[in-house]
Amino acid sequence: MLIRLCQHSFHIYDLLIFSGALTLIVYILLPHRFALRYDYIDRKHMEESLLAETTTNVSRTQLSADDCSYKEVIDGSSFVYDAFHREKIHRGEEIRLGGEYQPEECRARYSTAVIVPYRDRQEQLAAFLSYMHNYLRQQLIHYRIFVVEQSDRKPFNRAMLFNIGAKIAASYGYPCLILHDVDLMPLNSGQIYACSALPRHMSSALDSWRFHLPYRTLFGGVVAISTAQFNMINGMSNLYHGWGGEDDDFYERLKVVGVEICRFDPAYSEYTMLKHKHEIPNENRLSLLRSASLRIHKDGLNSLEYKELERRMHSLFTHILVET
């Protein structure tokens, strides 16, 4: 009897090990079996989803030129994160002081402010700037890179730096904001750096998550949002000091005003993340997040307080140094 029982439990134990091992093998070999499904805009509908709007100087200076065409940029999307695009800046003389570019051969239909919150990541910033200027110019858009640096030693306040960058970008007339981590690089040339009618989560297929989206409401990493929509939700919260939660809060704000988000086809949304040491999570983030919808009208652009210590035009970016 005892022997029989042992044999029986041995079978169940065996089965558990076997199915566990099988799951692991499937997980490693066929990651897409576990991928979260989400809605996305397919290639054919990408261009029509974009908001064609530029700063006034683009529309004024190139009255005679034809509008740029984006069909080839989108249809010809390919992997471009290679040594050629990464290692040095090509035709650097095309880039204006302050890190601005607009194509000469045609009139850009999109003007985008790329806003990068920053502190203590010199090597990553250098890699970001050279790759992104090569990457962005092939898209035939008008853009400018703003780096907003937190000078003080308080915990890093990513969302507040975005608010500051957004306010300054708006003062230069940019109708579209791309809120961008310095350690993320797009891999596919066709992820157009322009805003869509709905705010767009651009980095939905990240290599460090095996190109999967960990949860459907993730709205961090790289997002595009029109300046008008950003203003409508009072920007982001200023209260998240340290890592995590501020992007979820941002998503909650959009939910409160009933604005959905969108994504492009995952084949256009692949990003790589540069390695860095683990950031310390903000212990308050979950309790803050619970009150996100209540704070939208009093915590954000309208309560933003900071000191601008310096604004300097570098050859590859506009540097805004602030005390938070």
> Choosing among ligand BGC, Mn ion, none, which partner's interface includes residue 245 (Cβ < 5 to 8 Å by kind)?
ligand BGC
Instruction: Find the shortest distance in angstroms from Cβ 81 to Mn ion.
Output: 17
Contact 199, 118 (CB under 8 A): no
> Choosing among Mn ion, ligand BGC, none, which partner's interface includes residue 100 (Cβ < 5 to 8 Å by kind)?
none
Residue 246 binds Mn ion (CB under 5 A): no
> Choosing among Mn ion, ligand BGC, none, which partner's interface includes residue 117 (Cβ < 5 to 8 Å by kind)?
none
Residue 99 binds ligand BGC (CB under 6 A): no
Instruction: Give residues 282-311 in contact with ligand BGC (rule: CB under 6 A).
Output: 285
Residue 183 binds Mn ion (CB under 5 A): yes
> Using CB under 6 A, which of 99, 165, 245, 300 touches ligand BGC?
245
Map residues 206-225 to x or -, x wherever contact with ligand BGC holds by CB under 6 A. Answer: --------------x-----
**Distance from chain centroid for Cα 141:** 17
Q: How many residues bind ligand BGC (CB under 6 A)?
A: 6
Residue 175 binds ligand BGC (CB under 6 A): no
Instruction: Give residues 92-121 in contact with Mn ion (rule: CB under 5 A).
Output: none
Stretch that binds Mn ion, among 5-13, 180-188, 251-259, 306-314 (CB under 5 A): 180-188
Residue 53 binds ligand BGC (CB under 6 A): no
Residue nearest to Mn ion (CB): 183
Contact 322, 306 (CB under 8 A): yes
Task: Please say which residue, 53 or 248, places its beta carbon nearer to ligand BGC.
Answer: 248
Task: Please say which residue, 190 or 221, places its beta carbon nearer to ligand BGC.
Answer: 221
Which residues contact Mn ion by CB under 5 A? 183
Which residues contact ligand BGC by CB under 6 A? 220, 244-245, 247-248, 285
